[in-house]
Amino acid sequence: MPLTPLHYPVAYGLHRLQGRLPLPGLIVGSFIPDIEVPILWVFDRGVPDHLILHSLLGLLTLGMLLSVLITHYLYPPLVANIFRVERLGLNKACSLGTALYLSCLVGLLGHLALDLPMHWFNPVLWPWIDPYTIVGILVLLLAPEGDLQAGFALANSLVSSVMLVALLGIAWKCRHSLWTNMLLGESSASSNEPIQ
């Protein structure tokens, strides 16, 4: 996987494409699947470190539940207190409703879409299809002589580099009001009313 914060450009890009989807839900949704990685490391019982939250089944149930709860209850106070982003705007962007549910869902799916091509196993259809039978297209293209681990390392480096450049570009673009623009959404997008 790219480091979890490197999923941010996908969330930001989706918000720019569809400004009526609040950025906080997209960000939280795009980060949530990776919270299972350290947990699965701790409970290492021979299962892959990407499993439940990287499957469509887990994503549409537990992933959605966690994303909505965290975006609604934790995101506004944390971002307001740590990054000094205006609380009223956060509360509005994180209020429960269709816009929040959709933004969390799109953020979660965006996470899977970025992970899928660059992993040598994908639990996207777990528990019905063995994750090790779904190999990312980038891994296959970059695997020297079929060495999937080496292909993954190359695919990971490539995707992470592209995402890092995108993240720095976004930060530069948002520099005049960095945290508000990056964590709440740019004022230009707020002219669009959120989906009710």
The site for Zn ion (CB under 5 A) is made up of 1, 33-34, 115
Q: Which is nearer to Zn ion, 115 or 186 (CB)?
A: 115
- Which are the contacts of 111, defined by CB distance < 8 A and separation ≥ 6? 7, 10, 29, 30, 31, 32, 33, 34
Q: How far is the CB of 33 from Zn ion (least distance, A)?
A: 5
Q: Which is nearer to Zn ion, 33 or 136 (CB)?
A: 33
Q: How far is the CB of 54 from Zn ion (least distance, A)?
A: 6
Nearest in space to 65 (alpha carbons), one of 35, 22, 21: 35
Q: How far is the CB of 114 from Zn ion (least distance, A)?
A: 8
Q: Which is nearer to Zn ion, 96 or 137 (CB)?
A: 137
| Closest chain position to Zn ion (CB) | 1
Q: Which is nearer to Zn ion, 15 or 54 (CB)?
A: 54
**24 contacts 75 by C-beta, under 8 angstroms:** yes
What is the dihedral angle through the alpha carbons of 180, 81, 94, 62, rounded to the nearest 10 degrees?
120
